[in-house]
A and B are shown apart, each in its own frame.
Chain A
Amino acid sequence: MTEILANLALGFGVALQPINLVLAFVGAFVGTLIGVLPGIGPVSGIALLLPLIIGLHPASAMIMLTAVYYGTMYGGSTTSILVNVPGEASSVATTFDGYQMSQQGRAGPALAIAAVGSFIAGTISIVALMLFSLPLARWALVFGPAENSALMVLGLSSLSTLAGDNLNKALLSTLMGLMLATVGTDLVTGINRYTFGIPQLLDGIDLVTVAVGLFAISEVLLVVHEIGVQRRLLPLQRVWLSLKDFMDSWWAIIRGTVVGFYIGILPAAGATIASFLSYALEKRLAKDPSRFGKGDIRGVAAPESANNAAAVGNMIPMLTLAIPGSSTTAIMMGALLMLNVLPGPQLFTKHPDVVWGLIASMYVSNAVLLVLNLPLVGLFVQILKTPERYLYPLIVSVCVIGVYAVGRSRVDLTLMILLGGLGYYMRQHDYPLGPAILGLVLGDRMEQTMRQALIISNGDWTTFLTRPISGVILLLAALSLAAPYAISAVRRRPRVVAEDI
């Protein structure tokens, strides 16, 4: 316990440095903006900010990105409640009762409980994160290359299972990401693979280019067909919360936190699933389930707490095992790799300031968002009134700037457009995009660990199955791939929204 307190003191020492506080404020503001804007989701939003963090201290960079991540979640719930447009998949469940509340003139309490619930959930799950992550990281220290590559297989396969309706397509998306990761110089032999004589490809295809192309550009390509539809904005009153509203929501918040945190830890089950599950749980536990969907405040409190808790839980596999559980954490891990910080068990010993600074900054971000967003919610709503014919060209220009900033080359921009076209096709034909990003982020390390394992075993491929921990992990991966078939044999799977996972 004293060890955790000492670490926490170290973390707050980092997070409360003036420069890092400023970054947390800026990140929270920009993140909320991204969350409110349609078209730029958390994945492409964070990716676009990556060029800006080069040169920052890794701890500062993570603090800013965490604040952005949190901000997008707040922004997403704001639009869910006010205009029935979830800024991202994890706030879809909030629209069910949130929009109803605002139509009944109770937008104020809805926004307030979303903020307060998120704050409580975030705070509780950060404590849990501290308790869980250190033992897990210590346990994972004994993992060799075979175990690590098996873990990556598990991460990729379970994400593919949960993303979208068609497992085959999700796996193809994963493989596409893995294949894109093989472009560039092979680190072991120094051979250039799939570079086709283009010097800009020697370092591989940049994560920013892929994330912006696949997510942001494809989104804009989709929406240009629908421009001209007017949104109706309701007048917004003061954001406040009565004691009764708070007491009504208390248990929904606590249960949402527990559900969200555990779902968040599981590889690949992210904030989206957590928010839907906790909504369903509240509805089932309620004495009068018929009120849900008609503006029940618990229907806002539960999913909002759950998606925040899941966002924290998601950090555990990313930080301790280097297996991100969602596209967003995959991007954050990509950011760490860009800054030459390797996540995984050694992170806790080699870069304690990054880990504990990040954990402390989650507290800070929570507080910053609470004081920043409740007064400013009116301002953010104004952004929604911007006509789309101005908004989307602006988003495209920001994408061009962001991708150009990475490598200052037309090659990256060309790839961005091509990947945008690919993402457009994939979105229209049910290929989930998340697995491709995870594949790209994990690809390099997956190949390295596999080859190291084979060097140790002298080229014997059965080493992955005969080493006990690695064998068990691969068995779990196989089970996760077989699960959908087993379940669909019993009943049709409910459709899961695929943006976040």
Chain B
Amino acid sequence: MTADRIAAVVLLLVSALYMRQALGYRGATVADVVGPSAYPLLLGGLTALLAFVQLVGSRRDVAGGPFWGRHGRAVVLVGALFAYILLLESVGFLLTTFAYLTLSHLWLGERLWWRAAGIGLAITLGLWFLFDRTLDLSLPIGWFGLRR
């Protein structure tokens, strides 16, 4: 089974669920002859058709190499990102960003912990002053109860 075939099967499933959901959308007004479900059904149908073509027509083989060797770092980064956004609002922008940056620096090859932390701190404060204080985007405060 090639990657393209797996993707085609997933897309077939997604389009089936998408169309099933669309069937439930009713409530046409008098003028709106096709209603809210026709367009999603059209999209879902086309997707299913193209996914089917890909399922039948795909011939290419998957690129070699073990999964972790090729995707390990990306998986770790996705995990780190989820942790980052999960803590962002409760712990606050300053602490989470500082922690995320410092750990990333170490992970990506910085050997000296104090340099990783120092640069992490500098960037965090820089971003805070630029976006929160200057551009007024008000980032989450969290544990620091700093009031403006």
| A, B: real partners | yes
Interface size on A (CB < 8 Å)? 55
For residue A425, which residues in chain B have a CB less than 8 angstroms away from its CB?
7
Given contacts A421-B78, A447-B39, contact A224 B108 (CB under 8 A): yes
Given contacts A188-B32, A189-B32, A189-B36, contact A172 B51 (CB under 8 A): yes
Q: Taking the complex as formed, is B141 at the interface, i.e. its CB lies under 8 A from any CB of chain A?
A: no
Query: For window 150-200 of chain A, which residues contact chain B by CB distance below 8 Å?
Result: 168-169, 171-172, 175-176, 178-179, 182, 186, 188-191, 193-194
B31 to A455, Cβ gap below 8 A? yes
**Cβ contacts B101-112/A at 8 Å (1 or 0 each):** 100110011100
Q: Taking the complex as formed, is A215 at the interface, i.e. its CB lies under 8 A from any CB of chain B?
A: no
B78 to A417, Cβ gap below 8 A? yes
Q: Which residue of B lies closest to A188 (CB)?
A: B32
Judged by DSSP, the binding face of B is: helix
**Cβ contacts A400-424/B at 8 Å (1 or 0 each):** 1100110000100110010011001
Q: Taking the complex as formed, is A104 at the interface, i.e. its CB lies under 8 A from any CB of chain B?
A: no
Q: Which residue of A lies closest to B62 (CB)?
A: A429
For residue B7, which residues in chain A have a CB less than 8 angstroms away from its CB?
425, 429
B88 to A404, Cβ gap below 8 A? yes
A179 to B43, Cβ gap below 8 A? yes
Q: Taking the complex as formed, is A392 at the interface, i.e. its CB lies under 8 A from any CB of chain B?
A: yes
Q: Which residue of B lies closest to A396 (CB)?
A: B81
- Our pick among A225, A228, A451 for the contact of B32 (Cβ within 8 Å) is A451
A51 CA to B88 CA, complexed, in Å:
19
A171 to B39, Cβ gap below 8 A? no
A401 CA to B139 CA, complexed, in Å:
8
Within the complex, the shortest CB–CB distance from A465 to chain B, in Å, comes to: 15
B29 to A188, Cβ gap below 8 A? yes
For residue B113, which residues in chain A have a CB less than 8 angstroms away from its CB?
none
B137 to A51, Cβ gap below 8 A? yes
Q: Which residue of B lies closest to A218 (CB)?
A: B74
Q: Taking the complex as formed, is A454 at the interface, i.e. its CB lies under 8 A from any CB of chain B?
A: yes
Q: Taking the complex as formed, is B117 at the interface, i.e. its CB lies under 8 A from any CB of chain A?
A: no
For residue A182, which residues in chain B have a CB less than 8 angstroms away from its CB?
39-40, 43
For residue B101, which residues in chain A have a CB less than 8 angstroms away from its CB?
393-394, 397
Within the complex, the shortest CB–CB distance from A382 to chain B, in Å, comes to: 16
A193 to B51, Cβ gap below 8 A? no
For residue B85, which residues in chain A have a CB less than 8 angstroms away from its CB?
400, 410, 413-414, 417
Q: Which residue of B lies closest to A401 (CB)?
A: B131
A171 to B50, Cβ gap below 8 A? yes
A396 CA to B77 CA, complexed, in Å:
10
Q: How many contacts between A and B, using CB within 8 angstroms?
A: 148
For residue A388, which residues in chain B have a CB less than 8 angstroms away from its CB?
108
**Cβ contacts A446-487/B at 8 Å (1 or 0 each):** 010011001100110000000000000000000000000000
Given contacts A189-B27, A394-B101, A459-B33, contact A172 B50 (CB under 8 A): yes
Q: Which residue of A lies closest to B89 (CB)?
A: A410
For residue A190, which residues in chain B have a CB less than 8 angstroms away from its CB?
27
A429 to B4, Cβ gap below 8 A? yes
Q: Which residue of B lies closest to A175 (CB)?
A: B47
Q: Which residue of B lies closest to A403 (CB)?
A: B85
For residue B86, which residues in chain A have a CB less than 8 angstroms away from its CB?
410
B28 to A189, Cβ gap below 8 A? yes
- Our pick among B27, B50, B110 for the contact of A175 (Cβ within 8 Å) is B50
A312 CA to B82 CA, complexed, in Å:
40
For residue A492, which residues in chain B have a CB less than 8 angstroms away from its CB?
none
A389 CA to B115 CA, complexed, in Å:
12
Q: Taking the complex as formed, is A220 at the interface, i.e. its CB lies under 8 A from any CB of chain B?
A: yes
Q: Taking the complex as formed, is A52 at the interface, i.e. its CB lies under 8 A from any CB of chain B?
A: yes
Within the complex, the shortest CB–CB distance from A201 to chain B, in Å, comes to: 13
A405 to B137, Cβ gap below 8 A? yes
Q: Taking the complex as formed, is B13 at the interface, i.e. its CB lies under 8 A from any CB of chain A?
A: no
A227 to B108, Cβ gap below 8 A? yes
A389 to B108, Cβ gap below 8 A? yes
Q: Taking the complex as formed, is A222 at the interface, i.e. its CB lies under 8 A from any CB of chain B?
A: yes
Query: For window 103-130 of chain B, which residues contact chain A by CB distance below 8 Å?
Result: 104-105, 108-110, 119, 123-124, 127
Q: Taking the complex as formed, is B143 at the interface, i.e. its CB lies under 8 A from any CB of chain A?
A: no
For residue A194, which residues in chain B have a CB less than 8 angstroms away from its CB?
18, 21
**Cβ contacts A41-84/B at 8 Å (1 or 0 each):** 00000000001100000000000000000000000000000000
**Cβ contacts A217-234/B at 8 Å (1 or 0 each):** 100111011011000000
B74 to A225, Cβ gap below 8 A? yes
B77 to A224, Cβ gap below 8 A? yes
**Cβ contacts B7-29/A at 8 Å (1 or 0 each):** 10001000000100110011111
B109 to A172, Cβ gap below 8 A? no
B33 to A191, Cβ gap below 8 A? no
B3 to A429, Cβ gap below 8 A? yes
**Cβ contacts B26-54/A at 8 Å (1 or 0 each):** 11110111111011100110110011011
For residue B54, which residues in chain A have a CB less than 8 angstroms away from its CB?
168-169, 172
Q: Which residue of B lies closest to A412 (CB)?
A: B85
Given contacts A172-B47, A397-B100, contact A221 B78 (CB under 8 A): yes
Query: For window 45-100 of chain B, which residues contact chain A by CB distance below 8 Å?
Result: 46-47, 50-51, 53-54, 57, 70, 73-74, 77-78, 81-82, 84-86, 88-89, 93, 97, 100
A459 CA to B32 CA, complexed, in Å:
9
A254 CA to B32 CA, complexed, in Å:
52
Q: Which residue of A lies closest to B137 (CB)?
A: A405
Q: Taking the complex as formed, is B146 at the interface, i.e. its CB lies under 8 A from any CB of chain A?
A: no
Q: 14 more A-B contacts (CB under 8 A) besides A421-B74, A459-B33?
A: A52-B135, A168-B50, A168-B53, A172-B47, A172-B51, A179-B47, A194-B18, A220-B77, A225-B70, A394-B123, A401-B127, A420-B81, A451-B38, A454-B34
Q: Which 8 A-B pairs have the closest CB atoms?
A: A389-B108, A393-B104, A459-B33, A413-B85, A221-B74, A224-B73, A186-B36, A447-B39
**What are 18 inter-chain pairs, A to B, with CB distance below 8 A?**
A179-B44, A189-B27, A191-B36, A221-B74, A224-B108, A227-B109, A390-B105, A393-B100, A393-B101, A396-B77, A397-B124, A400-B97, A401-B127, A401-B137, A404-B88, A417-B81, A425-B7, A429-B3
